[in-house]
Amino acid sequence: MASEIINPQSELTATGLDPAFALHRGGKMAVRSTVPVRDADDLSLAYTPGVARVCGAIAEKPELVHDYTWKSQVVAVITDGSAVLGLGDIGPEASLPVMEGKAILFKQFAGVDAVPIALDCRDTDDIVETIARLAPSFGGINLEDISAPRCFEIERKLQERVDIPVFHDDQHGTAVVTLAALRNAARLTGRQLGELRAVISGAGAAGAAIAKILVGAGIGDVALCDRKGIVSRDRDDLTDVKRELAGLTNSAGLSGPLETALDGADVFIGVSGGTVPEAAVAKMAPEAFIFAMANPDPEIHPEIASRYASVVATGRSDYPNQINNVLAFPGIFSGALQVRASRITEGMKLAAAEALAAVVADELSPSCVIPSPFDERVAPAVAAAVAQCARDEGVARR
């Protein structure tokens, strides 16, 4: 995406009006009423004096807010603009088109209303405090495009403050879809997750979450790599998050560069950018899986990946097996809102991944290990699995 914006001040291209600017003019969202206000009687019910009776009832019994306001069907999509798509730290105003886009995806794919909010704030505690004060208006909080490692602390502290789901999609949405695709790739080739050794390139928000969910799902082993190489217990330069991950991953005790980890590996998962040398790819195990998800330029080009891998996935829509977060977050929040969940647990994420994988379980092929974002079965299947898991785990309130 960054490469497409050559002159962000101009709405014109060599062939005329840039269609992206044309689509975005005036914003991509609007607010509409769900009730008529045609005459004085309607007005007296929608506003005063009728609204006072509803307010009084909620004051006496606060849980009624879910029944008589939009709270139980709306999510706040919140960012500080510090890590936006492939653009990086572009600030709150420039991030707003992305937040609007995320909000319309909630509506399009799961019927969930969402409100984009861009915060002019970078201090972790200030962000947590601000969102916590906004929380009474919403049924869930979707954190978006917040830089690591701050995103980990913000999510943790905020969930401790509020009793509605807090979900950092850059972490968990990516992890859920990746696990679903990996489950199906293993099924396609007659293997179990426990037989696989995976390598993750990138130890930021997405990489850390993918490592954790793979461990939770029973992966054989996973090596997480950052710019300095394999995240291992013998390194003395790790952040608190990476130190925790070093204790969960790399049971083989590998150290050194990414290329060392790839030697004999069954799975490559790229969430970092950069380029992996073909010579390193060639050393992976037979029938490997390559999920090169950097956008727009995958870490391993699909044409190269297909020479060595039995299943190839990317983050792009113009290749098969797109690992796209829109397969996860609409259904996850829909399920959580349906049962008024107080949080989204690790079990709910695993349930979402299994349900997502099951959508195409009878249609598997090397070019189909994950559904299309436009497959209408996806959001209902994920929502049902998440809602049931929330009930089973005791975080549902209806």
pLDDT of residue 18: 86
Calculate the average pLDDT of the chain: 94
pLDDT of residue 6: 43
Q: Report the share of the chain in percent with pLDDT over 90.
A: 92
Looking at residues 82-92, what average pLDDT do you find? 92
Sign of the C-alpha dihedral, residues 184, 190, 195, 198?
negative
Q: Is the pLDDT of residue 77 over 60?
A: yes
Q: Report the share of the chain in percent with pLDDT over 70.
A: 96
283's CB contacts (< 8 A; 6+ apart) are 259, 262, 263, 264
Two tokens at 199? 């390598």
Two tokens at 370? 């994950």
* Residue numbers annotated as active site: 47, 102
Q: H or E stretch including 207? A: helix 205-217
pLDDT of residue 271: 96
pLDDT of residue 50: 96
How many helices (H) does the chain have, and how many strands (E)?
A: 16, 12
pLDDT of residue 80: 97
Q: Name 309's bridge partners.
A: 288
Query: Of 202, 260, 193, nearest to 221 (Cα)?
Result: 193
pLDDT of residue 273: 85
In this structure, the dihedral spanned by the alpha carbons of residues 270, 276, 281 and 287, taken in order and rounded to 10 degrees, is 20
Looking at residues 40-66, what average pLDDT do you find? 97
Please state at what angle helix 346-359 crosses helix 205-217, rounded to 10 degrees: 80
pLDDT of residue 143: 98
pLDDT of residue 16: 66
pLDDT of residue 15: 58
pLDDT of residue 4: 41
Confidence of residue 17 (pLDDT cuts 50, 70, 90): confident
Q: Is the pLDDT of residue 2 over 80?
A: no
DSSP for 122-179, written as a single string? --HHHHHHHHHHHGGG-SEEEE-S--TTHHHHHHHHHHHH-SS-EEEHHHHHHHHHHH
Looking at residues 371-395, what average pLDDT do you find? 98
Query: Of 219, 327, 317, 218, nearest to 269 (Cα)?
Result: 219
Looking at residues 345-358, what average pLDDT do you find? 98
Domains of the chain: 31-65 (no CATH), 70-164 (3.40.50.10380), 170-398 (3.40.50.720)
Q: Is the pLDDT of residue 1 over 70?
A: no
In this structure, the dihedral spanned by the alpha carbons of residues 192, 197, 202 and 206, taken in order and rounded to 10 degrees, is 20
Confidence of residue 5 (pLDDT cuts 50, 70, 90): very low
Q: Is the pLDDT of residue 368 over 60?
A: yes
Q: Is the pLDDT of residue 217 over 60?
A: yes
Q: Is the pLDDT of residue 374 over 80?
A: yes
Looking at residues 375-395, what average pLDDT do you find? 98
Q: What is the DSSP letter of 373?
A: T
For the ranges 5-19, 29-43, 124-138, which has the lowest average pLDDT?
5-19
